[in-house]
Amino acid sequence: MKIIIVGAIAGGSTVASQIRRALPESQITLVGREPDIGYGTCGMPYVIGGLISDSEKLVGTTPEDFIEERNINTLVQHEVLSIDRSNKTVVIQNMETEERFTESYDKLILSPGGFSRVPEFKGLGDLPLFTLKTLSDLETILEYIEKEKPTSCAIVGGGFIGIELAENFIHLGLKTALIERNDRVMKIMDVEITDILNKEMEDNGVEFYFEDAIERIEGKKLIMKNGVNVEVDFIAASVGIIPDTKLASDAGLTIGSTKGIVVNRYMQTDDPDIYTIGDAAECTDWVTGKPKRVQLAWHAHRAAYIVSRHLAGKPIEINGFLGTTITKLFSLTAAMTGHSAKSLTEEGISFKTVTHDGRSNAGYYPDHGTLHLRVHYDSETRRILGAQGVGDKGVNKRIDILATAMMGNITVDDLSALELAYSPPYSSPKDPINMLGYKAK
């Protein structure tokens, strides 16, 4: 079987490796625009802040290793320009030489990712504007900081990447302003969670400009719509990712309501010989069954496994997505799975909420932290619809348990009966998860 994979970062390199194990005799070609493959994009903010000492640590493998050790034909700095579905061929261009050639395929896998949304600012001029999506973006930021020695910056956008950049710019000693058109950071989460995150950022020196935007720029001065002037050395924009669907759209594949490429439970597009994984794939929501597109690494890796199994004739279906995610913010950890109060309300789903404020482990043990947990559930079926947590210790464990509970259809009441590991350094006799169950009763 001859397989061509378009895109060589998380999804593409992973599915290539999975297919090599599942189909040892297959002929695999991996095509990527960048010079690197399979690197850890999620670690990039921490390289900027110095927590990760070298960007090379993010690179798990090299094109040479893929060729030599895995027998995967790896074409870096190459781009697939078009798909001819009737003849099952693609046109590939060498981005350095501009040479073009045609390759045939039996199966085609699209893992195109997406592009950073770049805002347009009136009067930007020579003021540096950065986004952070690729390893090249990271190197550009690192080179600028090393050479220019900036002292201040503005971040536009208060989502996951925005707040992680804020933390890491603060670690560098930069005066950091965060500009957000909404009234809080992390609007995907409940207000009760983001209020805690806002305070943590303020306590660490981040300046907020909520419900505001840059009206124009004069030199290094940002003229804000609310009338405040902010002077900065550079801007970092984190205002979303645009899925790269042009290749699929040009080939006549269906683009769905989330602006992703529509796939079935086996990650197949309209064309059964073409699969899509990663940021650009439109799957379904675990709770509602409606279209959902998740731009996170776990989902790309899971989809890669689903594709490899299907190609090997041992199919399993992909589940609906919960969108489980977690982030570090100074001394805090925040995480969520499933729906927030806002998204449930927008979906017209009736729900109740149970909360718990407590310690991560035994209070008499010297190393304990605090937790705030929230679970949204259906008041009739008692099914868990979503959960969130924030605290300085143990959040990851609890959100993972709650995500497992959701997938196992465990009710909110059943949480009280979960027999969870207890020892004073790790928990309490009644774990915070148990307490949520007791309180819901």
Buried b (16+ CB within 10 A) or exposed e, 192-207: ebbebbbebbeeeebb
42 is catalytic: yes
Is-contact 24 310, C-beta < 8 A? no
Distant-in-sequence, close-in-space partners of 84: CB < 8 Å, separation ≥ 6: 90, 91
* Cα–Cα distance for residue pair 244/196, rounded to 1 Å: 35
Which residue, among 222, 139, 226, 120, has the nearest Cα to 177 in the 3D structure?
Answer: 222
Distant-in-sequence, close-in-space partners of 136: CB < 8 Å, separation ≥ 6: 34
Written as six digits, the tokens of 306 are 């689903």
CA distances from 215 to 132, 153, 192, 224, 235 (A): 23, 17, 30, 5, 14
Give the residues across from 156 on adjacent strands.
179, 237
* Cα–Cα distance for residue pair 334/314, rounded to 1 Å: 37
CA distances from 337 to 257, 322, 399, 420 (A): 22, 6, 7, 20
Written as six digits, the tokens of 199 are 């305070």
Single out the catalytic residue among 23, 42, 129, 188: 42
Instruction: List residues with catalytic annotation.
Output: 42
